[in-house]
Every structure is written in structure tokens, then in C-alpha cells.
Chains A and B, each alone.
Chain A
Amino acid sequence: MGELLKNYDVWGAIWTTIQLAVLSAIGATVIGTIVAIMRVSPVAVLRGLGTSYVNIFRNTPLTVLLVMSVLGLAFILGLSFSDDFARNAYWWAVAMLSLYHAAFICEALRSGINTVPAGQAEAARSIGLTFSQSLSQVLLPQAFRGAVAPLVSTYIALIKNTTVAAVIGVTDIAGLLQEITENEGAQLGIFFMVAMVFVVLTLPLGVFGTSLSRRLAVKR
């Protein structure tokens, strides 16, 4: 194990995985919230757009999205983040992980919004709040609370899905695993180590999420 740490940039790879996870989680949350708002908005066109977004990104395999981003968008259409292939792949991975998981974040939030009784939205409008005011002051704060559990599941899935970024050449922990396997042969210990990295990353999130959802639960 010590030799492994000496010969390979294990910490660098773990750091890349964490970066991918954090940046994509932020991106997915922002995009997901916007799409969720579109899906509950009173404008039919926006609702339609939001629904199509979710259906397209939730039903396309992440591998296909990633390969398409580099092979199709960057190589054929010239939409590159950077002339350096490694940087380009990294940012496309962040972009596609964000877009993909935004669909799931949106649905988690929408399920949260659905936990708020319709009467509250009606009450908010009837005391004169606008759509955006009732959304930001009344509905979303409660929706986020109700959505904590599904949101945490989505973030855990996102952390594990960062491994797919290796298909476009990002040297995250999964990419490094391929390198080590090529040189040293497949070894159970190395797979176990990689699994442990993900347990360390995701387990606290799950525990935190459970206690958070208990503390934040809306008492009705």
C-alpha cells in the first residue's frame, strides 16, 4: 500500500474526485432549482421546457452524455473549454455531471414542493404575495426541508457517478484505478481501497442528511 502511494498520485486523484463532486453538486443544485421552479410555474411554456429537460437528461445514460460532450460537442462542433485536452475533459465532466444530476435534483425538489399543502400557496397569493415572493418566502423553504432525504440520495449518487468521468480521460480515482490495474494487474486490495474512498466520502453525508431531515422536518 505504501508503495502504491509512492508510485501513483493517489491523493491527487482523490482530490480530483472531490473537486468533480463538489463543483457538479453546486452546478446541479443551481440548475435543478431553476428547472424545478419552471416545472411548478404558472407559465405553460416553462412547465413544458422543464418537463422536457428532466425527461431528456434523466433518461440519457451518463456515459453517453460524457462521450458525446467530448467527441461530439468539443471535437466536431468545436465547443471546447480549453485547448488542453485534460482541462477540457475535466470541465466537460463537471458540466455534464451538473446537467445530468440537475434533472434528479429538480425531481427531488418538486417532491418537496408537493409536500407543502396547496392551501399554503393559495394563502400566500391571497395575502398579496407575487409568484416569486410566495415561492421564495413560503414554498421553497419548506420544499427544501421536505426534500432533504431525496436530495441527499441524489448527492450520494452524484459522488459515485463521478467515476464515469474516467471514460473521457479525467484522472479521478476511477481513472487512476485503470492505470494501476494495467500496471499491477487486478488486485482485490486496490478495489477495496477505492471502495473505501467512496464510503468515506458518502457515509458522513448520509448520516448528516438523516439527522438534518429529522431536525428540519416541518411540523404539521
Chain B
Amino acid sequence: MNARRIGAVTAAAAIALGLAACGSSDSGSGSGSSGSASADAPTGKKIKIGTKFDQPGLGLKKGTEMSGFDVDVATYVAKELGSNAGDIEWVQAVSAQRETLLSSGQVDMIVATYSITDKRKEQVSFAGPYFIAGQDLLVRADESAIKGKADLDGKKLCSVKGSTPAQKVKDEIPGVNLQEFATYSECVAGLVSKAVDAVTTDDTILAGFAAQDQFKGKLKVVGQTFSTENYGIGLKKGDTEMCTKVTDAINKMIKDGDWEKAVQKNFGPAGYKPSDQNPPTPAACA
């Protein structure tokens, strides 16, 4: 008797969960860029895309909603590859795991502020660049003493532990007092509480923070970049066919104006303007 009752409850729970799962995947499909409802409908050609989940303006996950420039670029590229927004499975790609995610086939591509470097090219292939960013500084809105890299000597700076921008300022500005955290959010918290004078990393990431509602008007990006970061779409090493398709998609996105729209939508609120090198010309696939 009892066993039967438990069985019935379990079955009911399983059905409820199944329905809930359907519901969440449906609402998740509405999270793409500007496509209409019909364009978002799943076509059945699944694609797994790695991106950041914690970077406002680039790749941010809020509930089931994905937003940001990287997300918009990835959604566009996926569409060109034959997958609608509803087919995309977003996978969190933390910086340290990007190569592993690609080489083990856990994702089909990675669009996650992924700078093209020679070292990384040894392990993965890149399509792009689809955006050219640069290392910059985020300061409080009333800051007047910091206008660029030259003013950093003796200043309190914050960045993410082990990141390229953190290593760069340590090497190039010996007098800098650098605090390192695990995430940029902690650095921004330090900046707001006036314990640090500036946060440094790619201007795109900084602009994303400056555009967040809680920081609007309180923080500003200095706008004097001192490095060149070519953001590429990471692909499995040696997949030239895929690389060519993705490169075509990036070219098309830049040409038909969707690229500009995505820039305006994601970086506009921060008053951030991409450097003159944008939009970039994607390199040919090797």
C-alpha cells in the first residue's frame, strides 16, 4: 500500500519537474539579442557556447537571462551557423578553464573576452578579432588626479589575481600598490569604498561596471588605453572549416550593422566609445 502511494507521489513529482524544465527552457530562449519570437524558436541544431556569467556588459547571467556584447555576438554567430537562440546552451567559461573546455569538446566555441595571443594559439584556434579592447582604468567620477598610466606611480590599484592586466601593471609600474582579488566586483566594491584609487583591466569590462545601475554617475572609465586586446572567438584547435564559417559570420555582423547596434546597446549606457581600431577586420583562418 505504502509503496504504491510513494510511487504515485514520485511519479507526480517527476511530471511536475519535467513540466518545470520545459517552462524554463522556453523562457530561456527569449534571452537572445533582438530576434523575434519565431527566430528564437529552436531548430534542433544544438550548440554549446562558453561565455562569462559575471561580467556586466559582456556576458552576464541574471536568472536564466543572458545579456552582454559577447552574448550578442555569440547569438549572431550561432544563427549564421544554423542554430537559433533557443538552441544555444550557455556554459560558464571561467578564464582559467577556457582552453580545457574547448579541447575536451565541452563547448563548441568560446566568446568570453578571450584575447588572441600566440601562447593561446598553441592550444586553441581563434576566429576574429570581433572587437579590439585595451587595458584602461576605472576611477570614481570625481577623480581628477588619474588621467592615464603615467599617473599610477604610488597609487592604490586593484585588479584580478593573476590576470594579464595585473601582471602588466606590476611589471611596468614598480611603484604601484596593487591589491588583487578573485573577481572585478570585489575591486569595484573597494573603489566605491575609496580604499583603492583605480581598477584596471580591459576597457570593455570596466565600461560594463560603470554602466550598472548601482554605479551610474559614480564611476568613469579614464579612456586612455595602454594595451591592445584582440578579442577572438575560441574554437577547437585546427578546426579551419568552423573557423571560416565563424569569420564569415563576424564579417557579416559588422557589415549589416548588427555589430554597431550591439556595441551601442551594451556599452552605450556607460558613455564608452570603442577605440578607432573598431570595427576590426577578422584575420583569415590558418
* Chain A residues within 8 Å of B, Cβ to Cβ: 67, 70-71, 74-76, 83-86, 89, 166-169, 175-186
A residues near B181, Cβ cutoff 8 Å: 67, 70-71, 167-169
CA distance A78 to B167 in the complex (A): 26
Segment from B19-27, B157-165, B255-263 that makes contact with A: B157-165
Other-chain residue from B100, B124, B164, B182 in contact with A183 (beta carbon distance below 8 A): B164
CA distance A178 to B180 in the complex (A): 12
Q: In the complex, are the beta carbons of B163 and A182 less than 8 A apart?
A: yes
Across chains A and B, the number of contacting residue pairs, with CB separation under 8 Å, is 77
Beyond A177-B162, A182-B164, 17 extra complex contacts between A and B, CB < 8 Å: A67-B182, A67-B186, A71-B190, A89-B180, A175-B162, A179-B161, A179-B162, A179-B167, A181-B96, A181-B162, A182-B95, A182-B162, A182-B163, A183-B119, A183-B164, A185-B120, A186-B100
CB distance from A219 to the nearest CB of B (A): 50
> Counting CB contacts under 8 A, is B15 at the interface?
no
> Counting CB contacts under 8 A, is B277 at the interface?
no
> Counting CB contacts under 8 A, is B178 at the interface?
yes
CA distance A177 to B182 in the complex (A): 13
> Interface residues of B, CB < 8 Å — how many?
29
**A-B CB contact pairs (8 Å), 27 listed:** A67-B181, A67-B186, A70-B179, A71-B186, A71-B189, A71-B193, A75-B189, A75-B190, A85-B156, A89-B179, A167-B182, A168-B181, A169-B161, A169-B179, A169-B180, A169-B181, A175-B161, A178-B161, A179-B162, A181-B96, A182-B96, A182-B164, A184-B119, A185-B123, A186-B97, A186-B99, A186-B100
**1/0 contact trace for B140-162 toward A, CB 8 Å?**
00000000000000001000011
Q: In the complex, are the beta carbons of B161 and A166 less than 8 A apart?
A: yes
Interface residues of B in 58-98 (CB under 8 A from A): 95-98
Closest 8 CB pairs of A and B: A169-B180, A178-B162, A75-B195, A85-B179, A179-B162, A185-B99, A167-B182, A181-B96
CA distance A117 to B70 in the complex (A): 66
Q: In the complex, are the beta carbons of A167 and B178 less than 8 A apart?
A: no
Interface centre among B156, B182, B193 (most CB of A within 10 A): B182
CB distance from A70 to the nearest CB of B (A): 7
B residues near A180, Cβ cutoff 8 Å: 162
A residues near B189, Cβ cutoff 8 Å: 71, 75
CA distance A84 to B98 in the complex (A): 33
A residues near B98, Cβ cutoff 8 Å: 186
CA distance A177 to B96 in the complex (A): 10
Interface residues of B in 87-132 (CB under 8 A from A): 95-100, 119-120, 122-124
CA distance A40 to B102 in the complex (A): 56
CB distance from A174 to the nearest CB of B (A): 9
Interface centre among A176, A185, A186 (most CB of B within 10 A): A185
